[in-house]
Amino acid sequence: MKTGRVLVVCVLLLLPWGQAEQVDKQPGVFSPEKLREIDDTIQQSLARKELPGGVFWLEHNGRTYLRAYGNRVVFPSVEIMTEDTIFDAASLTKVLVTTPSIMLLVEQGKIEIDAPVAKYIPEFAQKEKDKITLRHLLTHTSGLRPGLPRDTEWHGYEQGIRLACAERPVTEPGSVFHYSDINFIVLGEVVHRVSGKMLNEFSVENVFRPLKMIDTEFLPPKMKLERIAPTERSGNHVFRGEVHDPTARRMGGVAGHAGVFTTASDLARLARCFLNGGELDGVRVWKPETIALFTSIQSPARVQVRRGLGWDIDSPYAGPRGQVFPIGSFGHTGWTGTSVWIDPFSRTFVILLSNRNHPDESGNVIHLRSQLGTLAAEAVQDFDFSDVGTTHVLNGIDVLERDHFAPLRGLKVGLITNQTGTDRDRVPTIDLLAKAEGVQLVALFSPEHGIRGVYDEKVGDSKDEKTGLPVYSLYGERRSPSAEQLAHLDALVFDIQDVGCRFYTYVSTMGNCLEASAKAKKKFFVLDRVNPIDADKVEGPVLDGETSFTGWHNIPVRYGMTIGELARMFNDEREFHADLTVVPAEGWRRNWFFDRDGLPWINPSPNMRNLAEAILYPGVGLLETTPLSVGRGTDTPFELIGAPYISDSSFVIELNAAGLPGVRFIPVTFTPTSSTFEGKVCKGASIILTDRRKCDVVSVGITIARVLSRMYPNDFDLAKFNRLLVHKPTIDAIHNDQSLEQIKDSWVEALKEFQKRREKYLLYK
C-alpha cells in the first residue's frame, strides 16, 4: 500500500526468520490501538520535518511489527524509505561494535575491566591518566572531554589515537559522568592492541559474521550505496556511504565511537541475541554471565547516572526507554537519529533508525524516541510492566556492598543508623561495615528510638554488644555529633529509613549530622533509601515559621524526595559545603510504593508497623500534639483516631461527608495502653485507605482538625495543631471555618516555588 511518498509495510515475523504474516492475523500480540498511535506519532513527526524518514521495529517474544516511513533521500532527488535501508548508526557503534568486541576479549581472559587502560596502551598513562580503567571508559566516568579537537587540522587513525592519549582528564576518574567519544576511541584501540586486528576486522569475524548481520560494517561498499540513507549536506555534497561523524571521518572511517552502518534487521539480530543470553540460531557468541555483566548497572557508586558497560540504563540520554520500560532495561542512541532499547523482563526491544540530520541538522527525534519507547511498551498486551522491578531494587547499602565498599576504603568511619539500616537480606549495615575490607568502623550514632528502634523516649550513650563499639545518642543530651566524637573520624555514613514526612525526626538527624560533618571537614555519605510512600507527590503547606527538630527545613509536610535527595538540598540551601556523597538506590522509580520494591519491611519506629500506617502518617501524625489519640498504645497506630469527648457516630458522619478521595471512616471505640488518653475509652474513627493513589493524606489531617475544631471547640486545642504543621495561615483559616479548598489554595504559590527548588536535587525518575 502506497500513500503519497510513504511506503507502508506492515508485517509480523515468526522468528527466527519464519514466514511473514499480517499483523491483524495475530490478535493479542500487540495492541492495535497502540500500533496506530505509533504510526500517527511518526507521521506527525514527519509532518513537522523532524526527520525525512525512518524504519521502526518493535519485537516482543519473537513477534515483530515493522514499518518504513517517509523518504530515504530528499536532496538532490527524492527516494522512498524502505525496510532494508542502511543507516549511519553513529554512536550505536559503541554498543554494536566496540562494547561487544571488548566483551569477547574479557571472556577470553585477554583484558580486565578494572585494569588501567595503560596496561594495554602504555602511552595512555601520560597527563595523569594512569588511574583510568577500562570500566571508567565503558561507563563514561573517565573524566575525559567529550571529543577530540576539531579546530585544528589533523588526519589519520594513528593521529587520532595519539591525540586521545595526549588528553588530560578534566575531572577525577570515577567521580562524574561525562559522555565522551574519546572513551570509545581508546577502547577501539584496546581491541586493536590486544587482538592484533583493527576494530572493523575483529568485529566482522567475531560479531557480525556469527550473527549473520550481513549489512553491518564500516566503510560500506559502493554496491550498497543506493540502499544507504544519506546524512548531512555540505554545499552540493551529501554524505552518503561515508561516516557523518567528523572525527571518525578524519580517522579513515573506522573508530570505536562511530562509523558503523547497519539495518533494522541486523540490529534486531543483535538485540535478539542479547535477549537470548548471548546465543542466536544455535550459535553462542557470548556467555550469559557476560551479557548480564555488561547490561547491569556498573557505574561507580558515587556517580548518580546509571550505566552498564557501554549500554545506557538510566542517564540523561535514556529517552528511548520511555515511561514504561523499567530500569534494568538498556539501550543506546546515535547522533544521526538512531536508537535501540532492549527490555529483558518482557523480552521486548524497540528500534528507530532514521537520518534526522538529512539534508541538514535541523531534524530532531529526541522527543519522538521517548514517545515511541512508551507506546512500544504499552503496545505489549501480554506482559504486566507494573510487576517488573520488585526484586531488582537496591538501597544504597546494597549498592555499596555490591561495589565492595569502594568509596569507604581507607577511611575511619562513624555510622549513623538504627534497626532499619540493613541490606535487602536484613544483614545490618553495622555488621557489613565492621567486616568490610579496608574500612575501619570506629563509632556508632543512634537517632530517636535508639540504635535498635525500641525506645519512645530520650536515649543515652551506650555500647554495642556485638561489635563493642561506642554508641553515641543523637536523641539525648545532644542532637548532633560533637567535635570530640568526630575528631578521630574521616567520614560519617548515614543509613536510616525515612518515611517521607517533614516532622519524622530522622530527616532532622541527617541534617544535623551533615552540618556537623561540614564544620569538622569530614566526608559525609548518605546510603540512600527508597521513599516508602512514593516520592512523586508533594503535599501540604511549606513550613512557615521557625525551624525545629520536627521542622528542620522549609519544605512541605510531604516533600516527595528521598533522604539522599534531601541531603543534597540541605547541603546546598543551608550552604554547608559539606563533602557529600549520596550512594543512590538502584532500580527504583519515584511513583512506587514500598510494596512494589521487593525490599523487606522493618518498622522504622515502634509505632510505624506497616505501609498503610506510613502512608497515613503525614496527615494523621499532624494531630499527635493535640488532645486526640492517634492510636499510639493500640495495635494499629495512625489508623485510629479518637478521644473520650467524641461522639463516634456523628464524628464519622461529618468526616465522610467531606468526600475525601481514597479514604473512608468507620465508627470505633478503643482504649490506648499508652500515650494520649492512656487507659481511657476513646470513641472515634478507624481510617480505611480505599485508594492510596487518590488519597491526599495531609488533607485528611486538615479535615480531621476542621471537624474537631467545629464540633468540639472546648476540648480540641487548635493552636496545638500548629506544632507540627508550622503554618499559622492554615490554623487561622480553620479557626475562621474556611473550606478545605480555600485552605489548600493558600499553599499553592509556596508549593510551586518549592517544586522549582526541589527539581535540581532529584536523582530518580
Please give the Cα distance from 646 to 708 (Å, whole number): 9
**Residue with grid cell 544507504, as numbered in its chain:** 228
- What pLDDT score was predicted for residue 476? 83
**Share above pLDDT 90 across residues of the chain, in percent, rounded to a whole number:** 82
For 344-358, 455-469, 553-567, 614-628, which range has the lowest pLDDT when averaged over its residues?
455-469
Orientation of helix 181-195 relative to helix 157-165, angle to 10°: 110
- What pLDDT score was predicted for residue 229? 98
User: In angstroms, what CA-CA distances link 702 with 155, 323, 547, 735?
Assistant: 70, 34, 21, 12
pLDDT digits (tens, 9 = 90+) for 306-351: 899 999 998 999 999 999 998 889 999 999 999 999 999 899 999 9
Please give the Cα distance from 470 to 317 (Å, whole number): 46
**Share above pLDDT 70 across residues of the chain, in percent, rounded to a whole number:** 94
- What pLDDT score was predicted for residue 143? 96
Name the more confident of 326 and 503: 503
- What pLDDT score was predicted for residue 151? 85
Please give the Cα distance from 747 to 731 (Å, whole number): 13
What is the DSSP code string of 245-261? -HHHHHTTS--SSS-EE
Which is nearest to 329 in space by CA: 351, 365, 296? 296
Q: Kindly list the strands in the beta sheet with 79-80, ordered across the sheet, starting from the edge strand earlier in the chain.
A: 79-80, 63-73, 53-60, 348-354, 338-343, 330-334, 312-314, 306-307
The 10 Å Cβ neighbour count of residue 105 is 19
- What pLDDT score was predicted for residue 412? 97
The 10 Å Cβ neighbour count of residue 577 is 10
Orientation of helix 728-735 relative to helix 697-711, angle to 10°: 40
Q: Kindly list the strands in the beta sheet with 682-689, ordered across the sheet, starting from the edge strand earlier in the chain.
A: 640-643, 682-689, 663-670
pLDDT digits (tens, 9 = 90+) for 83-105: 999 999 999 999 999 999 999 99
- What pLDDT score was predicted for residue 453? 58
Mean pLDDT of all residues in 685-691: 94
Q: Are 213 and 262 in contact (CB under 8 A)?
A: yes
Q: Are 506 and 539 in contact (CB under 8 A)?
A: no
- What pLDDT score was predicted for residue 426? 85
Pairing status of strand 579-583 against strand 523-527: parallel
- What pLDDT score was predicted for residue 599? 80
Name the more confident of 594 and 139: 139
- What pLDDT score was predicted for residue 17? 30
Answer yes or no: is pLDDT of 14 > 90: no
The three grid cell numbers given for residue 732, joined into one nine-digit string: 487561622
pLDDT digits (tens, 9 = 90+) for 2-13: 333 333 333 333
Band (pLDDT 50/70/90 cuts) for residue 391 is very low
Answer yes or no: is pLDDT of 630 > 50: yes
Pairing status of strand 233-234 against strand 237-238: antiparallel
Mean pLDDT of all residues in 651-672: 97
The three grid cell numbers given for residue 758, joined into one nine-digit string: 526541589
Q: Are 30 and 23 in contact (CB under 8 A)?
A: yes
Q: Are 447 and 505 in contact (CB under 8 A)?
A: yes
Please give the Cα distance from 225 to 240 (Å, whole number): 7
Q: Are 559 and 758 in contact (CB under 8 A)?
A: yes
Per the prediction, the chain carries an average pLDDT of 92
Name the more confident of 242 and 461: 242
For 50-54, 216-220, 692-696, which range has the lowest pLDDT when averaged over its residues?
692-696
Mean pLDDT of all residues in 562-575: 97
Q: What angle do CA 377, 536, 761 make, to 5 degrees?
A: 110
Band (pLDDT 50/70/90 cuts) for residue 392 is low
Please give the Cα distance from 553 to 543 (Å, whole number): 7
- What pLDDT score was predicted for residue 23? 33
Name the more confident of 158 and 388: 158
Q: Which of 164-168, 289-293, 424-428 ranks highest by mean pLDDT?
A: 164-168
Answer yes or no: is pLDDT of 27 > 60: no
Which is nearest to 225 in space by CA: 9, 72, 70, 50? 72
